Every structure is written in C-alpha cells, then in structure tokens.
C-alpha cells in the first residue's frame, strides 16, 4: 500500500531522529536534577537556622583534592571516548580506568571527611539542621557517584576482557553523559555547601 | 421536591420547549440523546434553588455570604465580583455548547458526505485569546486590591490583642494586656464603625498545623508550629459565631470547634473582670480540690490561685463560665463533665485527655470542685 | 494502508496451559500488554478507592454518625486520595499512553521495553506495599493501621512524635517506589515520541494525543522528582532522626508544603493533559472534522505545562504568606486558566459545522466539556485569594477537585475506554449498556458533587469524620451520599459491559469508527509487531488522505 506522493525509500533514508539512548539519559538527568535542586533549596533555606550545634564555619574543611579528582575524571572519560572513537583500545582502557580511580578517590575522601566530622567534631545527621541538610545533600551526591562507579567498573571489566570496540561508543557516550552530570552536580553542591554556606 | 415557581426560573413560557413537571419522562430521556440539551435546561433551576435557599439563612449557619466583619465583608464583595464574571463565562460557553449539540447533530436522513474540513481560523482564535486575557487582568487587579486591604489593616488605638495557640484538639486564648487565659470560647468586643475596636489575633501552634475559621467574621488563617501568623476581625453585631479548625490536625480534628462570643463593650468588660480573678477557695469542695491536686490533673491543667499550673490542657480557672467542654464537643453540664473525666473517649475518641480511673466517690467530689470554678 | 494481520495471537501448537499464559503476561515487554496491565491495575484500585469513598459518604450521611470510628475514617480519606491519584489516575493514563503511542507514531514498541515493564511492576509493588499497611502497619492504634495523615501528609503531623508507628512509613515508601516507576514510564514516553516516529511524521504531524503525552511525560520528570526528594527527606526525618520538617529543631512545616505542592499542582495537570488528549482524538472523529486549531492546541498545552509550575502556592493562601506572594500566585493561577479555556473553545470549534454522531464515546466527551467548564470556573473562584480564604480547606475545594478528576478526567477516560475498546479487544461493546452507564453516572456524579459545593459555602471543613447538626449541612451531605449509589451501579454496568463484550461482542474490524490515525490501520487487536511495514506518512491524518484522495489534509 502506498502513501501519497513521497517515495518511501528516499524519505526513510533522510529520516533522522535523535538516538533514544541519549534522549532517555537526558530525561533521567532532568529528573535527577530536579531532585537535587530540592535538596539544594532545603540546604540554602536552612543556612543559619540551626538552633544549636556546630556551624559549617566551625567544622567544614574545603575538599580541594577530592574536587580536583572528580572534575579531572570528566576530562579522562572524555579522553577515553575519543580514544575508542579512533579505535585506540589500549588508550581507551587506560583513560577509562583512570576515570574509575579518580571517582573512587573522591568517594574515599568523602568517607574520610565524614568520619572526621562524626568522630572528631560530633556532627551527625541528627545533630541539627546543618547536619541533616549537609549529610543528605552530600550523601545524595555520593550515592550517585557510587552508582556511576559501579557502571564504570562494569564497563572496565568488559574492556579488559577485550569486548569493547568502537561500535559501542554511542552507549559509552550515554554513560559519559551521566558521569558529566554527576560532576556538574558536585560543582553546585561544592559551591553551595563550602562557599556560600560557610 | 421542587416548587413550581422555581421550575419557572431558567426558561420562559414562550420557549418552544415544554415544561416538564414530573420525572416519569426522565426515564425516556436516558436513551434519547437528542433531548440531551433539554435535560441541562432543567438543571438550571436545580442549581439556582440552593442559591435562593442560601440567601435567606439565619446567622447560626456559618454562611460565607452573610459576613459580619470587615475582612469577611471585603471577601464577600470580591466573591460576588468573581461569581459575576464566572457566571457570565458559564452562560456564554454553556449556551454555545447546547447550541452546537442541537444544531450540528447528524440526522440519519442526510447523506454520508463529510462536512467541510475546517482546520482553524486565526481571527477567531486571536479573539478568544485576547478576551480571556483581559478578563484575567481585570479580575487580578480587583483581587490584588482586596488582598492588600485585608492583609494591611489599620490598627486603631482601641485594638484588642489576643494570642491563639492551637493544640491537638483545643484552642488556647491569651489576652496578654489583660492578663486573661482561657480556652475554646473566645470573647471579643463588638466593633462600631464610628470608633472601631477590632481584635487582632496572633496565631501560634503547640504541635501540628491548625486553622482558625469562623466564616462570618473572617477568612481562615493557619496556625503553624514555629511560625507566627496574624489575622483580625471587627464584628459589627453581638452574638455567638461558630466555626471550627480547618486544617487536618489528627484524630479529633473534626471536634476542634470554635465559639466566638461577640459581646457589647459592657458585657466584655464584665467578662474580663470575672476572668482575671483567681479561683475562689471554697471549703465545701475542698475534698474535690485535693483530688484534683493529688492526681495527674495538675500535670496538664492550670487553675489560677492554686498549685495547678499545667499547660498541656485547657486552663480550668473559670471552667463553668463556658457553655461547652472538650472544645465544643459537648454541652458543659453535670453529666457531660462527669463522663468526660471518667471516659473521654465516649465524647471525643482519640483526644489526648486520658481516662482518670477514679472511683465514683472521688469522681463526684472532683466534679463538684470543678463546678465551683465559675 | 493495512498490514497483513498474521494472526500471531492464535495458538500455534494447540491450547496453552494457563500457567504459560500467566507467565507470558508477567514477563511481557510488549507495550500493548503492559498498557493493559496498567489499565487492569488501575481498575482494581478504582474499585477499592470507590469503596473507601462510599464508606466515607455513609459515615457523613447524617451528623454524629457512628458507622466507622474517627481513626478509621481518617485512614479512609488518606487512602482514598492516595490510591486514586497514584494508583488509579497515573497508571491508567500511563496505560493508555503505552498502548496507543507506538501505534499512533508507526513504531513497533516503546523506546525501552524492559524499562517499561520494570516501571509497571514498580508501580504495582508500590500499591501493594501501601495496602499492606492495613494488615501489617503498626500505628497508634495497634496492629494493622493504614496511613491516616491525609494524602498530602503535612508536616509535622508526619513527624515520629505525632505519627507513631509505621503507618506513615508505608505512605512514604509505597509512593517513593511507585514514583520511581512513574519516572521510568515518563522517560520512555519522551524517548519514544522523540526517537521512534515513523518516516514523515514530523512533530507537527503527530496526532494530538502523542503531543499531549509528550508534554505530560516531560512534566512528570520535573513533577514527581520534588515529591521523591521530599519523601526522602521525610524518610530521613523518620528513620535517621533528621530535622528537615522538625519544627521543634527549627525546621519548617511550610517547607514541606512548598515541596509537596511544587509536585502537587503540576501533578494535576499531568493528570488532565492526557484527558485533553482523549477528547482531542474522539471529538474530531465523531464530529467528522479535524481538530480546530491544531497549532494553538499544541502551543496552549506547552504553555499550560510551563505555567503550571508557577502556581503551586495557591494551595497555601491561608498559610500566612505576605500580600505580594499571595498576589503573585493569584495572578499565575488565573493566567493558567487562559490556555485551558482556549482549549474548550477549540473543541467547540471542532464540533461547529460538523455532523455529530452521539455514540457513547462522544457522550462522555460532551459531558466532559460541560463539567470541565464548571470545574475550571470554580478554579477561578479559588484563584481569587480572598475568596480562597473562605473556600480553602472546605468542601467547596473537595467538590472542585472531584469535578476535575471525576467530572473531567474520569469522563474522558470512560470515553477513551469505549473508543479504543474495539481496537484493544477486537469486539464492539454494547451501545445500549454504554448509554445506560453514561446517564446513570451523570446523574450520580451531579447529585454527589454539584451539591457538595454548598456545605463548603456554609462553613464545612474537609477531612472531618462527623459534623455538628444545625449548621445547615445535613441535607446536602445526604444528597451527596445518595449520588454514590448511582455511580456505583453505573460503574458495575460499565465493567459488566466490557467484560462480557470481550467474549460476546460483535467483531469490530480494523476501523469501526471510520477514524484517521495510524492505530486504526492495524487489525483489532493489533499483532505483536504492530505493523508489518513501518508506515510513511505525509499529513496529520494519514487514513483520511487514503480514504479521501480528492481532499487530502493540507499542511496548515
């Protein structure tokens, strides 16, 4: 059965729509951004409103090293993707693993910071409004980093088994969108918690 | 159920549609869609009649269209304006819909040719965009004026300040300048337009969210913990105004009733004078007072002039000056008072007053004591 | 254009054991089956929610009634609202969208079939978890306590101090889980509509139902997330001792309200926009004319989508915001009524000059138009802040939003059921029973909800298990309760009609309504792969062009 006047084959070959993987990931990022915005709004609203307990100025130390690691991991994942586009599998594996390591360092640093705050400074999620909003916001971000690391690690395993090739690049690009999102959120969280809120 | 003269409202005898006075034909209508429109014409008197009933209510019914105080008056005026506009929109669109249903129905006799395929019209669509925007503009400007007027009232010298604190499930009223503390029944003076004496309420909450709503006197304002809200009213007429909590606050939200007694200036001054006094000490009920002070009553309740100074429950210093107990849940008489103490769940299940588990003798003595708190 | 309908639905090697059939439904990733699963889930919860409503109306039929305890009544209104919004309205709209979108855009399935199935099962699990609270929840009153904090669960009533036990936790977790399912479904909708349209179907040539579901799906991404965030915060308060909404520690009860209504208001547009979609598909077909003003309908919907995020605090007019905030939200709320009202005019414009065929789907659409008009106008009354100070928290609001959700959304859904039932089942429903359902439901709806406005005007607040006599509320409550009988009977007739017609209805054929969008080119029901050949389209009504080659749709 024919449609009106267009030749199906010419129209179909010109018919380009955005890739569903990218659209899907962007939608997920939109939803997650909305969740983060609400936590950031709560954090900002409660700045200075704790009725007791340690204040941010007293206990927070700016996590420069962790931040540099995490933001560098955006660069390394970008380098990993350009490597695999040019079929440089060795370089890809190197940069991809570096991304994973840098993200893991960030997470470990966050854990150590929390240990210091809880044990030495007595700040827990129950202590006061600052405690509640701080651990929730940073924790929400850290949970997203953890999910990202699990995904990165899975790909790393496949990469080291030699199963990842340039035709998989679009899917890795989708994962890289997520990872860049996680880094961008950290920029905002860092600014709100360690700069504005202190 | 429907009076004949009410049926006349909505369409004229000259209309080509016959009056239907019984509902037997209604059954026939259900299966014949071309009489669809007639059914809606009958709906108009059905909707008009309640409005006629509403317009003649006595003030015992908290009808928002019978305001007796300036904030409620201002709301009443803007509500009429809004109803006029929405009524007009309703009439126009309703008529269009009824017309379309009748005029463009497919008659089986006509051929099967499809009607002209019209896709839209820029002029018509522009018109029916611009007109609603203008309506919104007008309505918004009128609304904004009333918002500012009600929320920024003047405070004349004779203003009375009352602090209302919401509890689960009762109202605490304090008159800081007069040194009076009472519960559930609010007494305020009537306000005369020539020399106004409004009452300004500070609204606080001890636990969950509540809302102070006495429709004849003002719109409602919420009582929210950790937040100070204010509202005002200047009643024009003396009398009893009823209301209740309007924000779900827990199990007995339904019986957190409000009674506002608007007194003349003399009555109000007399009431204040009586409330300021401490509870008289009366040897006849000493036994009951001892029970009150020895059992857990004093943990929650206060009676001025005694050792009882609990704040969790209502102040009982002048309990018998109130018409009701349990925040309006029951009239304040001997049987109810006794029942309330013996088993609060019989009157207000889920309230926070515990059953006091007293034997009959103690209970009688206690009630006698409470009945001495005038 | 018809596809070769190879009957894959027929048994290949003799009758299958029932366990294999159940297994195939549980593991399906076919969008049509998932759509039907969503719809069946919703119908089950609709009946349960209806029973909860009936219990409440019986309790309120006379003042000081003792049909149920106050504790149980408070659980009823909480569960009724929560169920109807999250486990009836959302799933049924996702269900219809799931079924229809791929068919209407000429695709074989949704973009992410497995995510689609996962989203459905999450929603179902969330509902089961919520209802488990009846038997497993320990609340203030002993074992077995469903949530009783109201469907919007205001703080600090939900704090551990005031909501002892786990009943509120069931509310929080059940909705958290189903919310994740909703986000998954929304991601699927957007990705499918943007990435899977057949050749020639530009965004300007999609059926309106597809456009409106695109807007709805995009909105859900930003609508459910604030609720998810707020519920995580509530969970942190209740489980980990946090203080997000702990007023004793300086927390703010109003913050919960802001977060909740930033979800809650756009949510009702998420619910009503797919209802608009149904009307926009059914009215043209039964008027025999295209939709009047397609571009404006799209623009108005997108406008509603954006503006609806700026009106939320009209639920908080009584909270004590300053006059500037109150004025701002009054303005935005009135503004959002403009594109909404325009759509009503466009639907009237569609019927104007047409040849209306009063079959059951159109009857429900016409009732929708009358009722949505009234609902919108009572909404304008509520938008006027001072008027709102009297009406908010009263039965006027309850009547208003039931007018929207039942009078508009549910009526549109009934229309959609009757319109697409032949496509989904392959058979026609019984038209006489359909009309009987319609008229009984109209009578019952109006008895219940028209007169419900009046107690609100006379000072009756909502969420009360009983009320005082002598305040003028008795008669209207009685009438409202009587209306539920008619609605109940009507719904029973509806279910009977559909169930029986599945087996005994007349065979429908591909296109019983002489309609114009792509789903009517497949067999009824469509084969699993939808189209043997992906279609190529060149206008908004591909089947109209085929049937009327002398008068094809111009690209207006």
> What is the pLDDT confidence band of residue B109, given thresholds at 50, 70 and 90?
confident
Which of the two residues, C166 and A77, has the higher pLDDT score? A77
Question: For residue A128, what are the CA distances in angstroms to A28, A55, C138, C242?
Answer: 32, 9, 28, 8
Separation of CA B274 from chain center: 29
Task: Give the rounded percent of residues in chain A with a pLDDT score beyond 70.
Answer: 93
Asked if pLDDT for residue B4 goes beyond 50, the answer is: no
C226 interface with A at CB cutoff 8 Å? yes
Tokens of C119: 């989203």
Provide the b/e sequence for C406-417 (b: ≥16 CB within 10 Å). bbbbbbbbbbbb
- Of B226, B244, B276, the domain-final residue: B276
Per residue, the 3-state secondary structure of B84-141, as one string, reads: HHHHHHHHHHHHHHHHHHHHCECCCCCCCCCCCCCCCCHHHHHHHHHHHHHHHHHHHH
Q: How many CA atoms lie within 13 A of C434 on its CB side?
A: 23
* Chains contacting A (3+ CB pairs below 8 angstroms): C
Asked if C225 has any chain A CB less than 8 Å from its own CB, the reply is yes
User: Cα-atom radius of gyration of chain B, to the nearest Å?
Assistant: 29
- Residue C13 in domain: no
Residue of B nearest to C433 (CA): B31
Chain C contact for B70, CB < 8 A? no
Do B220 and B268 lie in a common domain? yes
pLDDT of residue B38: 45
Residue A23, in any domain of the structure: no
CB contact under 8 A, C292 and B118: yes
Per-residue pLDDT for A2 more than 50?
A: no
Q: Decide if A48 is inside a domain.
A: no
Instruction: Name the region of C467 (left: φ>0; alpha: ψ -120 to 50; beta: rest).
Output: beta
Which of A38, A49, A132 lies closest to C236 in CB terms? A132
> What are the residues whose beta carbons fall under 8 Å from the beta carbon of B348, sequence distance 6 or more?
B169, B252, B255, B326, B329, B330
In the sheet that holds B160-167, the strands lie side by side as B180-183, B170-175, B160-167, B199-205, B229-233
Residue A111 lies in a domain: yes
- Find tokens 């792509």 and name the residue: C518
Q: Residues B13, B147: one domain? A: yes
Residue B210 main-chain phi, psi, to 5 deg: -135, 180
Could you tell me the residue range of the domain that residue B35 belongs to?
4-105+121-151
pTM: 0.92
B106 contacts C157? CB cut-off 8 A: no
> Does a structural domain hold residue C15?
no
- Give the count of domains, chain C: 1
Q: For residue A146, what is the enclosing H or E element? A: helix A129-160
- What pLDDT sits at residue C137? 65
CATH of the domain at C230: 1.20.210.10
Query: Are B225 and B321 found together in one domain?
Result: no
CA–CA gap between residue C28 and residue C21 (Å, rounded)? 10
Which chain C residues contact residue A19 at CB under 8 A? 195
| Residue B230: φ, ψ to 5° | -135, 155
B115 domain-assigned: no
Distant-in-sequence, close-in-space partners of C485: CB < 8 Å, separation ≥ 6: C444
**Residue of A1, A2, A4, A138 best to disrupt the C interface, most CBs of C under 10 A:** A4
DSSP B256-277: -EEEEEEE-HHHHHHHHHHHHS
| Residues of chain C below pLDDT 50 | 1-11
Domain contains A26 = no
Nearest CA in chain C to A29: C221
Q: Is residue B110 part of a domain?
A: no
pLDDT of residue A18: 95
Percent helix, strand, coil in chain C, to 5, is 70, 0, 30
Residue C365 near residue C412, CB atoms below 8 Å: yes
Average pLDDT value over all residues in chain A: 93
Q: Which of A90, A196, A182, A89 is nearest to A134 (CA)?
A: A196
Under 8 Å between Cβ of C372 and C426: no
DSSP A49-113: --SSS--HHHH----HHHHHHHHHHHHHHHHHHHHHHTT-HHHHHHHHHHHHHHHHHHHHHHHHH
Look at B117 and C553 and tell me if their CB atoms are within 8 Å: yes
Is C133 part of any domain?
yes
**A-chain residue closest to C1, CA distance:** A1
Q: What are the distances in angstroms from CA C86 to CA B190, C45, C409?
A: 49, 10, 14
- What gap in Å lies between CA C164 and CA A59, rounded to an integer? 34
Domain limit, last residue, from B276, B306, B327:
B276
Q: Taking phi first (over 0 means left), then psi (-120 to 50 degrees means alpha), and beta for anything else, what does residue C64 get?
A: left
Mean pLDDT value across residues A34-60: 95
Contacts of C187 in chain A (CB under 8 A): 24, 27-28, 31
Clarify whether residues B224 and B299 are in a common domain. Answer: no
Q: Give pLDDT, residue C67.
A: 96
User: Could you tell me if residue C246 is inside a domain?
Assistant: yes
Are B208 and C369 an interchain contact pair (Cβ–Cβ within 8 Å)?
A: no
DSSP string, C308-352: GGG-GGGG-GGG---HHHHHHHHHHHHHHHHHHHHHHHHHHHHHT
Per DSSP, the three-state class of B11 is coil
* Residue of C167, C129, C164 lying closest to C148 (CA atoms): C167
Mean pLDDT on B184-197 = 94
The interface predicted TM-score of the complex, written ipTM, equals: 0.94
In residues, how long is chain B? 374
Say whether residue B172 is in contact with chain C using an 8 A CB cutoff.
Answer: no
Beta bridge partners of B181: B174
Which residues constitute the domain of residue C541? Answer: 26-547
- What does each C-alpha distance from C384 to B65, B80, B144, C471 come to in angstroms? 16, 11, 9, 26
- Any idea which residue has 């522009």 for tokens? B126
Task: Pick the residue from chain C with its C-alpha nearest to A15.
Answer: C199
Arithmetic mean of pLDDT over chain C: 94
pLDDT average, residue stretch A80-97: 94
Distance from the C74 Cα atom to the nearest Cα atom in chain B, whole angstroms: 7
Distance CA C113, CA B305 (A): 75
Q: Which residue has the tokens 């009472």?
A: B182
Distances (CA, A) of C494 to B30, C87, C383, C410, C489: 16, 20, 35, 13, 9
Residues in chain C with CB shorter than 8 Å from the CB of A136 are 232-233, 236, 242, 244
**Total number of domains in chain A:** 1
Token representation of residue C162: 């005031």
Please report, in angstroms and rounded to a whole number, the separation of the first and last CA atoms in chain A: 69
Neighbouring CB atoms inside 10 A of A26's CB total 18
Count of CB atoms situated within 10 Å of the CB of A72:
17
Q: Identify whether C316 is part of a domain.
A: yes
Q: Which of residues 78-97 of B touch C (CB under 8 A)?
A: 78-79, 82-83, 85-86, 89-90, 93-94, 96-97
Give the 3-state secondary structure of residue C319: helix
Residue C25: CB atoms within 10 Å: 14
Count the domains in chain B: 3
Contact B318, B275 (CB under 8 A): yes
CB contact at 8 A, C466 and C455: no
CATH number for the domain including A168?
Answer: 1.20.120.80
Are C365 and C281 contacting, i.e. CB atoms less than 8 angstroms apart?
A: no
| CA R_g for chain C | 23
Interface contact C142, partner B, CB < 8 A: no
Residue C306's alpha-carbon distances to B266, C216, C218, C300, in angstroms, are 57, 11, 10, 10
| C254 assigned to some structural domain | yes
The Cα B270–Cα B178 span in angstroms is 12
**Binary contact (A24, C229; C-beta < 8 A):** no
CB B272, CB B178: distance < 8 Å: yes
Whether chain C lies against chain A with 3 or more Cβ pairs closer than 8 A is yes
Residues 97-156 of B with CB under 8 A from C: 97, 100-101, 104-106, 110, 114-121, 124-125, 128-129, 132-133, 136, 139-140, 143-144, 146-148, 150-152
How deeply is C235 buried, as exposed, middle or buried, from its count of CB atoms within 10 A (0-12, 13-18, 19+)?
middle
Of B90, B244, B257, which is closest to C373 when you measure between CB atoms?
B90
- One domain for residues B72 and B139: yes
Tokens 């209207």 belong to residue: C476
Angle at B68 between CA C478 and CA B211, to 5 degrees: 60
Helix (H, G, I), strand (E, B) or coil at C53: helix
Q: Which residues of C touch B106 (CB under 8 A)?
A: 288, 355-357
Together in a domain, B98 and B208: no
B142 vs B28 pLDDT, higher one: B142
The answer to whether residue C97 sits within a structural domain is yes
Residues B15 and B132 in one domain: yes
Residue B334 included in any domain: yes
Q: Is residue C5 part of a domain?
A: no
Query: Residue C138 has what pLDDT?
Result: 64
CB pairs under 8 A between A and C: 137
Helix (H, G, I), strand (E, B) or coil at C67: coil
In a domain, A20, yes or no: no
Say which CATH number the domain at B263 has: 2.60.40.420
Q: Which tokens belong to A116?
A: 């210091």
Distance from CA of C534 to the nearest CA of A (A): 10
**Above pLDDT 90, what percent of chain B?**
76
Query: Does pLDDT of B32 surpass 50?
Result: no
- Distances C74 to A130, B101, C145 between C-alpha atoms, Å: 34, 43, 11
The 10s digit of each residue's pLDDT in B252-281 is 999 999 999 999 999 999 999 999 999 888
Q: Which domain covers residue A160, as residue numbers?
A: 68-198
How far apart are the C-alpha atoms of B79 and B56, rounded to whole Å?
A: 18
Q: Is C336 helix (H, G, I), strand (E, B) or coil?
A: helix
Asked if C356 is an interface residue toward chain B (Cβ–Cβ < 8 A), one would say yes
Report the distance separating Cα B37 and Cα C424, nearest Å: 32
Alpha carbons C476 and C478: distance in angstroms, whole number: 5
Smallest Cα–Cα separation from B51: which of B23, B88, B9, B92?
B9
Residue B348 scores a pLDDT above 80: yes
Same structural domain, B263 and B345: no
Closest-CA distance of chain A to residue C58, Å:
41
Residues B181, B143 within the same domain: no
Q: In the predicted model, is pLDDT for residue B1 greater than 50? A: no
CB-CB neighbors (< 8 A) of B56 in chain C: none
Nearest CA in chain A to C113: A20
State residue C375's pLDDT score: 97
Taking the C-alpha atoms of residue B174 and residue B183, their distance in angstroms, rounded to an integer, is 8
Instruction: Quote the tokens at residue B75.
Output: 């709301």
- Chain A residues within 8 angstroms (CB to CB) of chain C: 1-6, 8, 11-12, 15, 17-20, 23-24, 27-28, 30-32, 34-36, 38-39, 42, 45-46, 49-51, 125-126, 128-129, 132-133, 136, 140
Residues B221, B135 share a domain: no
- For residue C178, how many C-alpha atoms fall within 13 Å in the half-sphere facing its CB? 26
Q: Does the beta-carbon distance from B75 to C463 stay under 8 Å? A: no
> How do residues B298-345 score in pLDDT, each as one tens digit?
999 999 989 999 999 999 999 999 999 999 999 999 999 999 999 999
Specify the pairing of strand B160-167 against strand B221-223.
Answer: unpaired
Length of chain A: 198
């Amino acid at each position: 059965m024919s449609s009106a006047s267009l030749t199906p084959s010419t129209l179909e070959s010109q018919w380009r729509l955005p890739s569903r993987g990218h659209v899907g990931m962007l939608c997920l990022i939109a939803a997650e951004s909305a969740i983060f915005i609400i936590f950031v709004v709560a954090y900002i609203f409660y700045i200075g409103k704790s009725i007791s307990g340690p204040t941010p100025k007293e206990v927070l130390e700016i996590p420069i090293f962790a931040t540099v690691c995490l933001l560098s991991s955006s660069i390394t994942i970008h380098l990993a993707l350009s490597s695999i586009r040019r079929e440089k599998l060795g370089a890809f594996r190197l940069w991809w693993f570096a991304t994973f390591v840098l993200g893991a360092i960030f997470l470990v640093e966050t854990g150590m910071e929390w240990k210091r705050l809880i044990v030495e400074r007595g700040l827990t999620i129950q202590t006061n409004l600052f405690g509640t909003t701080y651990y929730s916001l940073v924790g929400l971000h850290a949970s997203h980093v953890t999910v990202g690391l699990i995904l990165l690690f899975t790909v790393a395993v496949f990469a080291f088994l030699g199963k990842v090739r340039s035709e998989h690049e679009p899917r890795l690009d989708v994962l890289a969108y997520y990872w860049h999102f996680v880094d961008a959120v950290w920029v905002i969280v860092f600014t709100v918690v360690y700069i504005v809120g202190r | 159920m429907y009076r004949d003269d009410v049926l006349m409202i909505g369409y004229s005898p000259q209309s080509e549609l016959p009056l239907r006075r019984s509902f037997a034909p209604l059954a026939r209508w259900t299966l014949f869609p071309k009489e669809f429109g007639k059914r809606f014409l009958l709906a108009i008197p059905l909707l008009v009649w309640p409005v006629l009933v509403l317009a003649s209510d006595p003030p015992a019914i908290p009808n928002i269209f019978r305001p007796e105080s300036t904030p409620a008056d201002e709301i009443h005026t803007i509500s009429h304006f809004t109803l006029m506009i929405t009524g007009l929109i309703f009439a126009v669109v309703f008529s269009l819909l009824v017309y379309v249903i009748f005029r463009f129905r497919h008659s089986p006799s006509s051929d099967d040719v499809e009607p002209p395929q019209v896709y839209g019209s820029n002029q018509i669509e522009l018109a029916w965009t611009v007109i609603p925007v203008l309506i919104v503009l007008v309505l918004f400007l009128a609304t904004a004026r009333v918002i500012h007027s009600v929320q920024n009232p003047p405070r004349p010298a004779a203003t009375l300040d009352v602090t209302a604190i919401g509890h689960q499930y009762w109202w605490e009223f304090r008159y800081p300048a007069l040194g009076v503390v009472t519960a559930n029944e609010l007494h305020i003076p009537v306000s005369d337009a020539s020399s106004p004496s409004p009452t300004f309420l500070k609204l606080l909450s001890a636990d969950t969210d509540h809302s102070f709503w006495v429709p004849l006197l003002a719109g409602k304002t919420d009582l929210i913990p950790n937040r100070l809200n204010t509202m005002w009213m200047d009643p024009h007429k003396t009398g009893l105004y009823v209301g209740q909590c309007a924000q779900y606050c827990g199990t007995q939200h339904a019986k957190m009733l409000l009674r506002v007694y608007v007194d003349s200036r003399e009555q109000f001054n007399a009431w204040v004078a009586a409330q300021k006094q401490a509870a008289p000490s009366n040897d006849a009920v000493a036994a009951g007072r001892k029970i009150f002070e020895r059992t857990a009553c004093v943990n929650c309740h206060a009676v001025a002039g005694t050792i009882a100074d609990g704040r969790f429950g209502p102040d009982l210093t002048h309990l018998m000056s109130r018409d009701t107990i349990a925040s309006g849940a029951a009239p304040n008489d001997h049987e109810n008072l006794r029942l309330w103490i013996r088993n609060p769940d019989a009157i207000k299940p889920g309230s926070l007053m515990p059953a006091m588990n007293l034997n009959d003798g103690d209970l009688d003595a206690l009630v006698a004591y409470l009945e001495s708190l005038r | 254009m018809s596809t070769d309908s190879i009957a894959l639905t027929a048994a290949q090697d003799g009758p299958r054991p029932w366990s294999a059939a159940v297994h195939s439904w549980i593991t399906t990733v076919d969008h049509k089956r998932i759509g039907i699963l969503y719809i069946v889930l919703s119908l089950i919860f609709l009946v349960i929610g209806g029973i909860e409503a009936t219990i409440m109306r019986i309790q309120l039929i006379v003042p000081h009634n003792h049909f149920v305890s106050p504790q149980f009544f408070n659980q009823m209104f909480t569960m009724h609202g929560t169920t109807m919004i999250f486990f009836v309205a959302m799933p049924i709209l996702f269900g219809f969208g799931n079924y229809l979108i791929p068919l209407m855009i000429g695709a074989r399935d949704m973009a992410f079939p497995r995510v689609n199935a996962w989203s459905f099962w999450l929603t179902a699990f969330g509902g089961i978890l919520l209802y488990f609270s009846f038997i497993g929840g320990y609340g203030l009153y002993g074992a077995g306590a469903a949530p009783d904090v109201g469907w919007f669960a205001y703080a600090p009533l939900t704090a551990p101090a005031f909501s002892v036990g786990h009943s509120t936790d069931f509310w929080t977790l059940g909705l958290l889980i189903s919310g994740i399912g909703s986000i998954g479904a929304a991601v699927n909708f957007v990705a499918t509509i943007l990435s899977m349209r057949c050749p020639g179907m530009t965004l300007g040539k999609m059926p309106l139902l597809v456009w409106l579901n695109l807007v709805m799906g995009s909105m859900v991404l930003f609508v459910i997330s604030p609720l998810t965030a707020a519920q995580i915060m509530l969970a942190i308060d209740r489980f980990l001792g946090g203080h997000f909404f702990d007023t004793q520690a300086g927390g703010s009860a109003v913050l919960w309200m802001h977060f909740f209504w930033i979800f809650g208001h756009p949510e009702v547009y998420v619910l009503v926009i797919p209802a608009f979609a149904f009307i926009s598909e059914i009215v043209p077909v039964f008027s025999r004319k295209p939709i009047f003003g397609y571009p404006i309908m799209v623009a108005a919907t997108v406008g509603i989508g954006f503006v609806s995020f700026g009106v939320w605090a009209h639920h908080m007019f009584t909270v004590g915001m300053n006059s500037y905030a109150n004025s701002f939200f009054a303005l935005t709320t009135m503004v959002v009524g403009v594109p909404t009202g325009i759509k009503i005019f466009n639907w009237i414009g569609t019927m104007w000059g047409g040849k209306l065929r009063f079959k059951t789907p159109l009857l429900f659409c016409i009732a929708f138009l009358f009722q949505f008009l009234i609902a919108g106008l009572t909404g304008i009354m509520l938008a006027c802040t001072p008027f709102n100070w009297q009406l908010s928290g009263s039965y006027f609001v309850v009547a208003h939003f039931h007018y929207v959700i039942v009078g508009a959304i549910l009526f549109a859904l009934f229309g959609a059921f009757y319109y697409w039932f032949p496509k989904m089942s392959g058979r026609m429903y019984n038209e006489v029973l359909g009309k009987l359902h319609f008229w009984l439901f109209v009578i019952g709806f109006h008895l219940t909800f028209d007169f419900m406005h009046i107690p609100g005007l006379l000072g009756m607040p909502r969420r009360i298990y009983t009320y005082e006599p002598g305040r003028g509320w008795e008669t209207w409550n009685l009438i409202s309760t009587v209306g539920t009988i008619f609605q109940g009977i009507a719904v029973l007739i509806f279910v009977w009609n559909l169930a029986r017609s599945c087996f005994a209805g007349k065979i429908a054929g591909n296109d019983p309504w002489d309609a114009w969008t792509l789903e009517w080119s497949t067999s009824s029901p469509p084969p699993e792969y939808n189209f043997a050949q992906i279609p190529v389209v060149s206008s908004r009504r591909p089947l109209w062009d085929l049937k009327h080659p002398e008068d094809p749709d111009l690209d207006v």
